[in-house]
């Protein structure tokens, strides 16, 4: 059974995005980027919402050519383009870059995907994360807490989320002040 890992950055006050979808406060340096590359390259698939996928598809395929001296960026461009991806969109028919398009999140379909052999999968993006959480499809949370209070925007845990106990698995402190909190669903 492959686990679904919610992989997401938040502010200390719990926002994924500041006002106007601002994510300029996400701190990514070489150390953090390398950690992300090492972990994400081990995944068997990325599950993404339409907006996130569009942003990624605009950036990563050309990134290595534009930033040839940035080792982590070049490396992740290769990881992203080759990784099997699933995107959820009501309108797209083809998304390119090794991507399967799904119309909507169907719990049974996701569970069938989890039952396939292989390594874990990540899910990212604010709206898709909320939908997966609502359906109880997240097995592991990797939350990267950035050292900033942004005051408003879109929260990771919406009001009314079901009460849930979690099990702390790991914490990790990065040099740039980001803290990773890794939790599993309580057994």
Partner 1 sequence: MRKVIWWMMVSLDGYFEGPDHDLSWHHVDDELHQHLNDAIRPMGALLSGRTTWQLMADFWPNAAQLFPDERLMAEYSEIWKAKPKLVYSRTLREAGWNTTIVRQVDPAEVQALKAQPGGDLCLTAGDLGAEFMRLGLVDEVRLYVNPVVLGRGRLLFGAGVKRELELRETKGFGNGVVMMRYGEPK
Selected binder of partner 1 within 28, 36, 101, 179 (CB under 8 A): 179
Q: In the complex, what is the shortest distance from the CB of residue 142 to partner 1, in angstroms, rounded to a whole number?
A: 13
Q: Are 97 and 83 in contact (CB under 8 A)?
A: no
Number of CB atoms found within 10 A of residue 37's CB? 19
What's the rounded Cα separation, in Å, for the pair 174 and 80? Answer: 23
By CB under 8 A, name the one of 3, 14, 64, 78 that touches partner 1. 14
Out of 28, 40, 64, 145, which residue is the one contacting partner 1 (CB under 8 A)? Answer: 145
Stretch binding partner 1 (CB under 8 A), from 50-58, 79-87, 98-106, 167-175: 167-175
* Secondary structure (3-state) at 58: helix
In whole angstroms, the minimum distance from the beta carbon of 105 to partner 1 comes to 19
Q: Is 149 in the site for partner 1 (CB under 8 A)?
A: yes
Is 57 a residue that touches partner 1 (CB under 8 A)? no
Q: Return the closest-CA partner of residue 136 out of 125, 123, 153.
A: 123
Min. distance of Cβ 152 from partner 1 in angstroms? Answer: 6
- Site residue total, partner 1 (CB under 8 A): 31
Report the residue from 33, 78, 143, 154 that binds partner 1 according to the rule CB under 8 A. 143
Smallest separation, CB 80 to partner 1 (Å)? 28
8 binds partner 1 (CB under 8 A): no
Instruction: Find out whether 49 and 125 touch, Cβ atoms under 8 Å.
Output: yes
Give me the half-sphere count of Cα atoms (radius 13 Å) on the Cβ side of residue 53: 26
Among 114, 142, 43, smallest CA distance to 83 is for 43
């Amino acid at each position: 059974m492959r686990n679904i890992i919610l992989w997401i950055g938040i502010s200390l006050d719990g926002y994924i995005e500041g006002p106007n979808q601002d994510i300029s406060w996400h701190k990514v340096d070489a150390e953090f980027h390398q950690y992300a590359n090492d972990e994400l390259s081990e995944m068997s698939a990325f599950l993404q919402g339409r907006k996130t996928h569009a942003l990624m598809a605009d950036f990563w395929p050309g990134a290595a050519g534009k930033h040839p001296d940035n080792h982590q960026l070049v490396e992740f461009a290769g990881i992203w383009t080759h990784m099997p991806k699933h995107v959820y969109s009501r309108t797209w028919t083809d998304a390119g870059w090794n991507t399967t398009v799904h119309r909507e999140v169907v719990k049974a379909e996701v569970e069938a995907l989890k039952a396939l052999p292989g390594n874990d999968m990540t899910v990212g993006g604010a709206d898709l994360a909320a939908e997966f959480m609502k359906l109880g499809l997240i097995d592991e949370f990797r939350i990267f807490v950035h050292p900033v209070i942004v005051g408003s925007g879109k929260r990771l845990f919406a009001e009314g989320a079901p009460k849930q106990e979690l099990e702390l698995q790991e914490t990790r402190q990065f040099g740039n002040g980001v803290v990773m909190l890794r939790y599993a669903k309580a057994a």
